[in-house]
Structures are given as C-alpha cells and as structure tokens.
Structure 1
Amino acid sequence: MHQNYHFLKQLAPRLHSELAGKRFVEAFSQQKDELIIVFAEEDHDEELIKPFFIKATLTNSFSCLSFPERFDRARRNSVNLFNDFEGDMVGFLKVCDNERALQVRFESGRDLIFKLFGNRSNFIAVNAEGEVTQLFNNKLATDRNLTVASLNRGIDQSWEAFVANNGRFEPLFPTFGKVANKYLSGKLEGREDLAERWAIVQEVLREFESSVFYITRIENIPALTLFETGEVAQVLHDPIEALNAFYLAYIRLSGLDKEKADIVRLLKKRIQQTDNYLENTFQKLVDLENATKNDELANIIMANLHIIPERAEKAELYDFYRDQLITIKLKKDLSAQRNAEGYYRKAKNEKIEIDRLNDSLAAREADRKQLQDHLEHIESIELLRDLRAYIKTHKLEQGNAGPAIDELFKRLDFMGYTILISRNAKNSDLLTKQAHKEDLWLHAKDVTGSHVVVKNQPGRKFPAPVIERAAELAAFYSKRKNDSLCPVIVTPKKFVRKPKGLPDGLVLIDKEDIVMVVAKGE
C-alpha cells in the first residue's frame, strides 16, 4: 500500500512541510529506472542549505519513493532532467483527489506531477498553460495527454451514494486497492444491514488515515500497510520514515526470499484456480443430478405416443415420476418415437458426462494435493540452490505459469473431450495457433464467428455427438446464431493455414467437411 491513495493522502502534507518555500536545485538520473530530485532553501557557493532529496525507483517490478538524508552524485554517467524547474520555488504539494498522484506546484505556475501507478509510474512536467512538456519515462506516451484536472476525480462518497449502490463500497472508493478491498470485505462479510455496513466502512477509513503505518511481510515480501496484517516488523507514525523503512526492507530482500516469494505466489494462484474449477465442476454435477433426466423424458414420451400430435414442437404430458404435468420440447420433423430415441441418446451421453466430471474432480483434487505439498516443501527450503533445483525437478518454473486455458478461451467439457472457443478475432488466431495438428477445427461457414477447437485424444476417433456439439457451439458463436440451420466447417487443424498479412481471425482452409446443425450455446 506504499502507493495507495490513503497513504499518499498522509504523505502529501508531510512532504509539503518539507518542500514549501524550497527551490528546485536539480533532477538527474544515474540509472535508467532511477530519478533523484534535489530541493534546498538556498545554494551558496555550491553548498546546499537544508537540502531535501527525493529518490524515485521506477523499475518494471518495483516502484517506490524514498527520501535519503544525502545523495552524492556520480561524476560520470548521469544526465540532468527537468531543467526548466531549476531555481523555481515550491508553492505547495498536494495529493490529487482520489488518485495515486502528487502535484508539486511552483511559483511560476508550473507543476511537477508524481504519477505513482505501480509499474506505470512516471514523473510529468506541466507548464503554466497546463501542457505536458517532459516525461521521465517516454515509453509511457499516453502520459502526454494527462492534465492536472484529469488526475483529480470527484467521487460522491456520501451515505446516499452508498445506499444507491446497494451497500457496495467499491464504486465509492476505487482508491482502496486489492489489499484494502480484501481487508474491508472480510469485515463486511455476513453484514446485510446497510447502516451497519456504512459504519464499518467509515471505521476502516478512519483506521487507514490514523497515521499508523505497518512494515510487514506478506507471502515473504515486505509491504507497507495501513492496518495490521502479515508478519509485522515495525510500526511507525511518520509517513516519510515509513516509506524509507519499507524501501530499505524491500531492497535488502535476498535472492532466496524473492524467488521463494515468486514461486509461493504462483502456487497459491494455481491452488485458487483449482479450487474455482472444483467448485464449478461440483455445481455442474449437482445441476445434472437435480435436472429432469433425459431417459425419464424419453420414457414419458413413449408412454404417451398415442396422444402426441404430428409435427408438434412441444407436448404437455403426465410425468408419472413426479405426479404432475410436464412440458417436453420436441423436434417437429421427427415422430414422437424418434424424439424419444433422441432423448435416450442424450441420456447415454449424460451418463458419460457425469462419469467424466467425477473423473475430472478426482484428478483435480489430486492436483490440488500435489500443489499443496509443493507449497509446504518450498516454504521449508533454506538454500537458494536447493530451491532452484526443486523448481526445475518438478517443472514449477514461471514459464509454465501462463494464463490457464480456462482464462484464455471459453471451455466446455463434453463426453470426455475438451472443446475450446475463441473470444474475439485476435483470440481466434491464438487458439488456432496453439491447436495441435490433429485437433478438430470448426467454424461457421461464410460468416464471422469464433474458432472452435476440439482437443484430440491419441488413438481415438472423434465421436459424432462430440463433433455435433462443437458444431452447435461454432454456429452459436457466429453471425448465423439465429438461422434455423447453420453450415459449419469441420476439419483437422493441419488443414488450416494463416498466411502472413491476413486480418485477425481470417484463415485459409485446404480441406473441409460441412455439417448442418442448429445453433446451441453452453
């Protein structure tokens, strides 16, 4: 929370007391991700009177301000920056309203903005006319469009706004961030009364702004928080001292601590993803068990063949399983008996799906146990070489921790086969590129739509119901979604090509079959 708005809100007046009335002496960089800014009351004969140093560390993985008591500039390999501010006196320093940014206003009317947005942090020079004149990190080109006004967000944080949002605090306080949101959500859990929830929110706000700062460790990584959590090492009451203490704790982090923290965070993420999968899969099983069974529907149709009219699209029949009437959907082009046969086939597939879900649950529960075992073992390792050897032996590298398939593409499991559906044109290219040459590739013919891939199982042919289900999905996620029948291209992925220069989502197909299906979603 060292860049959290509620911390900056307390840091700003403390910095104002240090900087107001001082002059900008110089800003320079000795490393590409580091900026030093020097302020002082006067500069007589190269001697600074009451200097104040701000050091900004802005790497891709760590961004932080610190305030060293002195800083000796190297004679070589340093470059001056923000020269226009030289000699200008600081008028005030304030935090931007509901934003992670500090504004330093100079007597000339110019501003130096400290934009503290994690790995997108930057220092921005703004002239008296409000135009951006210089950036510290020029790669963040969109920062040139920022204005002081755009960094000040007016948000209605009243009781009335809280009520209008049904007791949700997130729309009112987007400044809390992940750590604070988790902390407050825990306090609000199980509280339904709006007045009680509002009182808790106000209590937490007072806690956040009480000038108590905790230097702690969360998942083996140093952190600065506004509430007690993790392994607390220090409790401070000055925001400058707190930020300095946090910065020192972080840069002193050993290689073992850093690498252990990374792999622990990775494993915990995988465990959470597995928990989500188990929860969703278990719910699918419950839904399947509670739903009216397809074989029961077939039996009801067979018992009432004599009263079902021809070409009917539905029939209201007596359900002798539950002693009530039930409406059953029918295909008008089929006889009642053929409709019953269709439901019997679905019942067979339904049983296969239930068995597959049970197998999948067992496999993922075993995966979760293995992940938990890895986590416990890694936390006990005390040597860096042992940690690296363990990670390599068990293939736990970060490179294997890309987004899960479930996150990249829509996924449906059917009869033991995995069906993947792209989300947009670029995502379609990614799905097709990642597909194995023996995977089955499907797409609605002659219209835009999602690419669909059925993962191959070596030694097994794709069952007709699986192909039909994947085709239904390809039709559903296409412009032919509302057609009565949709032609769908079906071909092995090896016959799909993406020549250079084709637009996103567009491919060439060397060999194809066509199936006709009715569009049907998940």
Structure 2
Amino acid sequence: MENHVNNYFTLHRVVDFLNNYLQDFYVAESFSSSKCEVQIVFRQRGIHKAVKFYLGEESFVFFPEKFFTPKKSQPLFQQLINKQFLEAKIHPHDRSFRIQFSDNFTLVVLLYGRNANLILYQGKSIETVYNPNIKTNLDKPFSYYKNLENVSENEFVRSVAELGLKKAVLVHFSAFTKGMLKYFEVEKLAEKQFVNLQEWERSLLESDFHIYTSEKMLEGKQVVFSLLQEDETESFSGDDIYAALHEYARLYFRILQFNTQKKNLLQNIKSKIERTEAQLKSYYFHLEQLEIEKNYKHQADLLMANLHNIPRGLDKIELTDFDGEKKITIKLKREISVQEWAEKLYQKAKKQQIERTQTEMHIATIEKMLPELKEQLLQVEASNDSQSLRNHLPQQTTKSTEKKQQEAVPYKKFEIEGFNVLVGKNGADNDKLTFGIAKKDDTWLHAKDVSGSHVVIQNPSRKELPKSLLEKAAQLAAYYSKGKGSDLYPVIFTLKKFVRKPKGAAAGKVLVDKEKVLLVEPRLV
C-alpha cells in the first residue's frame, strides 16, 4: 500500500488550506526542536498558529493543535521573523511547494522523503538551507520553480507517439503513482487519454483522505495516508486536510516511538545475551584451569607426612605418593621451613576451593539467567503494541532526577537476586545507613580490619539469604574498602542487631558481635 502523505495531490490541498489558514498572519517564531523537525509559528492579533515540517525517514507537513517553544530549540530562518505570509503555491506534479512572504522572501518546501529539505530565498538568492548536506535542487535557480507548468494536450499527444502511453504518463503526469495508475486501470485507456487523466487528477484533488494502520504495518514501521480507498480497516476517513494530517502525525509519531523503543530494546537484550554467553564461556574456562592446576592440599599433605625426612634449603623435592608407586615433584622455598611452606600450600588450597565454589555459583546463576533473557527476546520480538512492550522497558529516570535521588540518600543501591543491597557512601553516611535505615534482621557486612563502606542487605521478610547473594554483597563490601586491591579479601557479616556504636566513636566506627567471615574477590556486581 502506497503512502500519499507528500504526494502532489495531497500537497495541492495543503497549499489551498494554507492560503486560507494563514491569511494576514505574520511569522512570530521559527525554530527546530529536534533533528528532523522545523516549526514556524504565525501570529495575528493574539492568535497563534503553527506549521510543522517533519523531514525524517518520511517527510510531511502538519498543523499541531498545541505547540510551545522548547528550551533547547535551535532558531532557524530568522530572516522571516515579522514577515507577512502572502501566498503558498504548488509546483505542478512535484512533491514540493513554496510559501511567499513579504520583503521578497520565499520558502521552498521539498518533501522528497529522506532527501527532504527547506530552502529560503530572498529574491533569486539562497539565504538559508535547513540541511546543506542534502544537495537535491540546490543547484537549480529559483526560476526553476516558477517555470514548472502543467503539460498541454499537444505536448502529451506527441510524447505518447514517441514514448508510448505509460512512459508519457510518467513523464508528464509524474504525480500519478504506480498504485494510482493501477487503481484507475491506465492500461485500458484508449481514446480521450489526456481528458481522462485530467479527470483522474480532479478526482484525486477532491477525494477523501484515508489513514490505515494494522499489525502488519506496525511491524513494517508504517502508517499509511492514502488518497485511494482500500480494503483495509480505516483509522480515519474524511476530506478535512487539517484533521487528516493531524491524525496521521499522531499515529506516525506513536508508531515511530514504538519501533524505536522496540529496536533499542532488542539490541540491548541481544547485547546482554552475547555478554552473558561470553561470561559463561569464561567461567567454564576458568573452572577447567582450576581443575588442571596443581592440587595444593595434596602436596601439603605429602610434605607434612614426610616433614622429618626433608632437609631445609632445597628448591624442590621428589616424594612417593600415598599409593606407594607414583613420584611427585614439589617445589619448595629455600628461605622458609618445609612446615611453613606446607601451611602456605594449605592457604592456597583453601583459596582455590573458594574460587572454585564461587565460579560454580556464577555458572549456575548465568545458566539460569540465559533462558530468561532468550525468552524475553522472543516476547519483545512478538510485541506489536506499546502496552506489551512497556513490560520489558527499563524504568526511565532523567539525569537530574537520578542525581537528586543519589544526593538525597546516604547509600548506593544495588538490586541483587531480588534483594536491595545498600552501600554507605562515607563515614557519616555509614552511620545513617546502619543505625537509621537498616532494620535489626537485615544482614550487615564490612571488609575485615580496614576502613570501608557499611553494606546492608535489606530482608524485611526475614528470608534465608542465598549464599550467592551473600558472596556478591561481600564482594561489594570488599570493593568499597581499603582491601579493594587484593586478589581475595575477608569480609565479616552478621545481623544488624549485633552491630553497635560505642559512645564517642568516630563516624563509621562500630563494634560487631557474632560475625562470620567470607573470603571473596573485591569487585562490582
């Protein structure tokens, strides 16, 4: 189905409307409020009217009922301010027209789809071009528009003889689209070809406007403004050009917003799936590396079993394994005793086990998350209206609102596995968080033996916290502390009711009872 919103026959009626709508009006404002929009506001004795040109993927003109000047608007065509609207003129069989103002100013409106543009002339000279990067018609003199005329019957007859009927129609009646010619069955024209074509023109200049939308059109990023009546459900039908264009603009921008949101959301979900799959692959690789690394505990057990048979000062030792057959070579440190080295190996084994457990937990979390993301992707792809899409859109906040919200609270907020995790911003905010916001059964965490943020897991339902949640919150506590630079760092945790503030203690300083310890990697989650 063809879109006729910027077709010659539509613009002809736009021009007729403008000549009545703006008679005796003067330009009050002219500006661009976004990348693809130009608005000119006209005034007369306290009455204001606006004409808006949209020059995006589609190009059209409409007349907004409500309008205002945005703070960040860009002034345009300032030469027109206080100039009187004189007349609008259509360019025959073209998707363009011109508006003439006092002081010999003319605004040429080119609605050529993606090559749409506005060119302001004074006399024959170009004063301003809305988009100078679009070169269409910039090389044509102003006289080009004045010399556009309707074809005579004799010229058309000669062209038919030279080119054939179809080509002659396309040359001299170029405003007729393929859909229009098919609708009027041009191939059946025999006699009185020129007269019939003129009658078709008159019928299109008097026809009703029809606006069509459907799910298929929504998926195709389109709302259709047609001069032909089709076998589709209409959302508008009538001969009022003002109402028709207003309704078309309303639907067009609604659908444009929907398609833009859907496209961006699909890109975000696909990117998240790619990152998550890459992360999962990385965790599996890390787990494989842990499996093939040396077994530190086994080595330490062998050293302790042979402690009295190993002289000090060696770089390595070869020992018989516990099965009595296999030989194992173990590296040693000259500067420390074998027992001390065995203790270090036990520590490494403990860290290795913690790392393995954490990696397995990360893998389990991601393997649960991936199907959910892929299901969300399918749901968004199937969405064909704003309501179904809205459920998947992230909550929108402006930068200023977000900044005010951050300044208003003494903590950074993270949502982890359905729980709110709050991280204090400084010493004073730590006290506000722990003793002003946290409840007695919330879980409280802090990096061990160093200064850092208080971290609180809010738990109003007093649920048992998942181990993976505790570890992620502990990672935040380690990250927002002086232990941030360590590969692994201990973090204490307890219920908030076991945290107390000694009298006269500095901001953020507390005493803790009944704490437990987690060894984690300091990181953001």
Shorter chain as normaliser: what TM range?
0.3 to 0.5
TM-score, normalized by length of structure 1? 0.45
Q: Which has the larger radius of gyration?
A: 2
TM-score, normalized by length of structure 2? 0.44
